[in-house]
Structures are given as C-alpha cells and as structure tokens.
C-alpha cells in the first residue's frame, strides 16, 4: 500500500505535457521514484491508460489538480473526476482528491485505490493549520496532505512537529523558500509522501526540490530508515543563494556521518532559536541579517565573537544552550594570505554589518590601517569608533587610494548581479580587491577591478575558510577543502 505503510515514499511528478515528453521522462522517473504522480491537469491529453497498462512500473498516484488549488484543470468538476476515475479503473494505486469537493468525489467508485485527501494554501500565512488538519482528518481518507506557505522556517518547523501527532498518515508540506526544510527533512520527521520534481525545470509547486538532490544531498533513503540522527543548517534571509548545503552535505555523505545540512530562511531569529528546542539541530551557520542576534542567543562565545559583536557559527551544547564563535574573522585574513600580508597596509572595508565588523576587527588585529565606508554614515561611524577604524562620510570613495579593498556588503549578490558598491574606474594595478560575495563568483565589482589592473580575491576563498572552521568545530576532523574547491568550481546544480 502506498499511503498506509509506515515508511516515507519519494514521489516524482510527471508533468508532460505531451506524450513524447512523458515517454522521455517515464524511465527517469522509474529510476528515481518510489511512487510516480501523474499530473493529468498538466497533460495535453489527460488519459493515463497507456502508462498504467505497463507491466513493470512503480506504483502510481493520479492527480488532476483544479485551478482553485494551484493546478491547471479549468474544465468541469465532473470532467475532472471522470479522468481520475478512468485512471483508477486502469490500475492507478492511489488518487488525490481535494478537500473542498471530497463529498462529491466520494460518490464515485474508486475501487481498491487508496484515497489521499489534500488541501493547498498559496498565500503566506493563510489558513488555520489546526482547523484544516481537523477537517482533513475527519473525512475518512487513507491519508492526508496539507501544503501551506509559511512565512519563515520557524513556521515550517512547527508544521513538521505536527506530523507525528496525527492519527491519519500525513504529508505536511511548506511551500516556497521558507518551507523547503519540510521537503529536505520531511522523511526524517515521518512525512509519508515526499514530493519531488524530475528536474529543476519540472517543478509543480513553489520550493519543490529535484529528486536526485533529495536522494543524494539530503540522503532520503537514510532519513527513511532512521539513520540520520540530526541536522545542521545555514540561517539567513535570503538563503536560496547559499552553497553551504551543497558542500556540507557532500562531506557528510562522503564521510558517512549521520547528519544532513539544510537552508533555513528565517525572519525572527529569537522565535526561531526557541523553536529549535524541539528539534535535533546540532549547529548553525549564520548569515545576513542575523549575526548579531546569533551572538545574543548564545550563552558562551569566543573572544572574536564577543569583541566583534557578531557570530556566524552556533554549536549546540549538551545542555541545549548555544555556543557562538566567529569564523568570518580568521577567514578574512586567510583569504588575503595571512596577517603578514595586511600588516601596515591601508585597507578600505565597505559595509557596516556582521561581515564588515568581522573584517574590520581581523584587519585591525593584524595591524592594518582600516577605513570604513557605508551607505548609512552613522553606522560606519559607530563601527569605526567601536573597533578602532576610520569612518568615511559616504560610499563615494576613491578606492585607488587604498592597498586593499574589501566589499563586505551584499551589493552584487545574486540575483542582482549587475549592482556594485563602487563605480568603475576607481581601481589601479597592484591593488588587491576582495569581494566577500561568492554568488556569483565574479561580481561586477571584481570585473571592474580586473579592468583596472587590480589583483582579485574571490569570495569563495572566505566562504571556504569560514566553512572549514565551522566543520572542524562541529565534526572534530579536517574539512575536505580540495573536494569543496572542486565542487565550487563546477557549474552549480539547481535543486
């Protein structure tokens, strides 16, 4: 039985739209999926009999999602149910039926097919989750599915907490970037069906992951068999651009460690950290805009984090409290070749956030003469006074006056890749320009600096060094830097 067996199933959706596409994708779906979902509403001809007649195939859930529930079926309700009923008669093992027309659907003969009752809410924060779960659980279906759109990862984790409390086998999904954790970790928390796209171009819902990423990066099979003991995460807003899950999961898998690493889009850090009390999270990589809040949430911190006033790494202690360290600061110096390469040099740091604070502190510790420029002059002044740097009145700076320029702002971060914190024409030969952004690898700032003859330091250097220190803190073993470098130099695989 698809829905009532007590093990998670990876479900790959076949979207068509034409028979040629379906024939092409069928074999790949069979290789990746435990169950195949036939999305008839997305097909040019919603007749599944030719697929269901195949002698060797994965079990099938048949779905014909109406427009009102996020699908593309715009015809009559009776016509929609006719297509589903024909698919069941042709051998589909399960059928997805929407909550709002459940009573009408139950007038049909679904034979021995299992019934999945479902409901989708696409507006962030829409729908009373408890009320919807009560309604879904009351209809008598073999299993239920609820997909909502959480505003941040704290809401998504709250959704996962409910799975084990339900009497009916359930699949609870958070859609969008904030809800991806329910897909990445859904099997570990007991979600019965883990829906995945065949590839990045065939997603049927916001935030859906590709099936191979679930199997490889998030180790679906090990989650399903209770071999994953806990998880780590990168926390920020946004986090979709982060490659931390990619490199950490690669290393965790290669070294057979019982953890996975997920991206979490978080708005309110204090609420989020409280939510983690109910979850086996072992550590956090913290990025914009939560580095100061991360330090405040800790009960112990290293001297760098305390003096900088920001932390990018949290480690959970045995008593459940959090220890904060800052790996950004040593990563800045490592990226520039070590303290001896910056001592006595004139350095311009752009920005006044957590990364900027780490850069200024590290450079000052190494003996550099540091100036800070920020869009908001008062923030640059406060940072300069606190950490012993010269504050400039604006970002309108003659960058060529400095030996080293460090961009610690988010200006130029994907997707806004043509933005730059400094105009072109302000760079010179012999100067070093370091952009802490690593997505994209070659930002507009770096391209302009290269045109002026400057020496470049890519953001992935800092990314790798700070990740190395995080890994060593968490795992107590050397990080696989050579493997990580090879992965980052390859084209990024979209999930």
pLDDT at 2 over 60: yes
Closest by CA to 116, choosing from 87, 94, 83, is 94
Q: What is the pLDDT of residues 61-105, one digit of tens each?
A: 999 999 999 999 999 999 999 999 999 999 999 999 999 999 999
pLDDT at 56 over 60: yes
Q: Averaged over 418-422, what is the pLDDT? A: 96
Contact by Cβ (8 Å): 171, 191: yes
Q: pTM for the full model?
A: 0.93
The pLDDT of residue 126? 84
Helix (H, G, I), strand (E, B) or coil at 354: helix
Is 9-226's fold the same as 233-327+465-485's?
no
Closest by CA to 286, choosing from 295, 277, 278, is 295
330-462 to CATH, choices 3.40.1010.10, 3.40.50.1370, 3.20.20.80, 3.40.50.720: 3.40.50.720
Averaged pLDDT score across all residues of the chain: 96
- The Cα–Cα gap between 361 and 358 comes to 5
Q: Averaged over 431-454, what is the pLDDT? A: 96
Q: Among positive and negative, which fits the CA dihedral 147, 148, 154, 158?
A: negative
The pLDDT of residue 493? 56
* Cα separation values, 212 from 181, 196, 200, 219, 286, Å: 16, 9, 10, 9, 27
Mean pLDDT lowest among 47-51, 183-187, 316-320, 486-490 = 486-490
Question: DSSP label at 179?
Answer: G
What are the domain boundaries of the chain?
9-226, 233-327+465-485, 330-462
291 is a catalytic site residue: yes
Q: What is the pLDDT of residues 312-359, one digit of tens each?
A: 999 999 999 999 999 999 999 999 999 999 999 999 999 999 899 999
CATH 3.20.20.70 applies to domain 9-226: yes
Q: Which of 39, 291, 316, 444 is catalytic?
A: 291
- The Cα–Cα gap between 427 and 139 comes to 68
- The Cα–Cα gap between 397 and 389 comes to 16
CATH topology of domain 233-327+465-485: Rossmann fold (3.40.50)
Residue 340, classified by CB atoms within 10 Å of its CB into exposed (0-12), middle (13-18) or buried (19+), is exposed
């Amino acid at each position: 039985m698809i829905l009532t067996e007590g093990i998670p199933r990876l479900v790959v959706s076949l979207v068509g739209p034409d028979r040629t596409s379906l024939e092409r994708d069928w074999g790949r779906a069979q290789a990746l999926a435990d169950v195949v979902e036939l999305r008839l509403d997305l097909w040019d001809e919603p007749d599944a009999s030719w697929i269901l007649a195949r002698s060797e195939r994965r079990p099938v859930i048949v779905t014909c999602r109406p427009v009102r529930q996020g699908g593309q079926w715009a015809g009559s309700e009776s016509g929609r149910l006719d297509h589903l009923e024909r698919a069941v008669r042709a051998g589909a093992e399960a059928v997805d039926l929407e909550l709002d027309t459940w009573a009408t659907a139950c007038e049909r003969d679904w034979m021995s097919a299992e019934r999945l009752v479902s409901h989708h809410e696409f507006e962030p924060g829409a729908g009373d989750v408890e009320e919807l779960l009560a309604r879904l659980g009351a209809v008598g279906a073999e299993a239920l599915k609820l997909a909502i759109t959480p505003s941040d990862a704290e809401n998504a984790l709250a959704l996962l907490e409910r799975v084990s409390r339900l009497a009916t086998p359930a699949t609870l999904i958070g859609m969008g970037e904030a809800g991806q954790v329910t897909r990445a970790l859904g099997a570990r928390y007991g979600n019965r069906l883990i829906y995945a796209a065949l590839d990045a171009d065939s997603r049927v819902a916001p935030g859906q992951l590709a099936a191979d990423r679930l199997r490889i990066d998030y180790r679906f099979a090990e989650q399903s068999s209770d071999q994953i003991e806990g998880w780590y995460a990168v926390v920020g807003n946004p986090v979709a651009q982060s490659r931390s899950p990619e490199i950490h999961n690669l290393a965790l898998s290669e070294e057979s460690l019982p953890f996975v690493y997920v991206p979490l889009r978080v708005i309110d850090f204090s609420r989020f950290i409280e939510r983690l009390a109910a979850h086996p999270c072992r550590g956090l990589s913290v990025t914009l805009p939560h580095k100061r809040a991360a330090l405040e949430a800790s009960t112990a911190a290293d001297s760098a984090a305390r003096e900088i006033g920001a932390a990018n790494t949290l480690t959970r202690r045995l008593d459940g409290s959090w220890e904060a360290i800052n790996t950004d600061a040593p990563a800045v110096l490592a990226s520039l070749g070590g303290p001896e390469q910056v001592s006595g040099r004139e350095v311009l740091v752009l920005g006044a956030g957590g990364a900027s604070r780490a850069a200024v502190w590290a450079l000052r510790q190494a003996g550099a003469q540091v100036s800070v420029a920020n869009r908001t002059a008062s923030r640059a002044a406060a940072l300069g006074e606190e950490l012993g740097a010269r504050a400039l009145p604006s970002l309108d700076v003659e960058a060529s006056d400095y030996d080293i320029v460090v961009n610690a702002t988010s200006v130029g971060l994907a997707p806004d890749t043509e933005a730059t914190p400094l105009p072109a024409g302000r760079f010179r030969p012999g100067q070093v320009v370091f952009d802490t952004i690593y997505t994209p690898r070659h930002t507009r700032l770096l391209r302009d600096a290269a045109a002026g003859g400057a020496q470049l330091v890519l953001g992935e250097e800092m990314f790798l060094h700070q990740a190395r220190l995080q890994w060593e803190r968490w795992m107590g073993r050397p990080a696989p830097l050579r493997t990580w470098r090879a992965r980052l130099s390859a084209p990024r695989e979209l999930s």
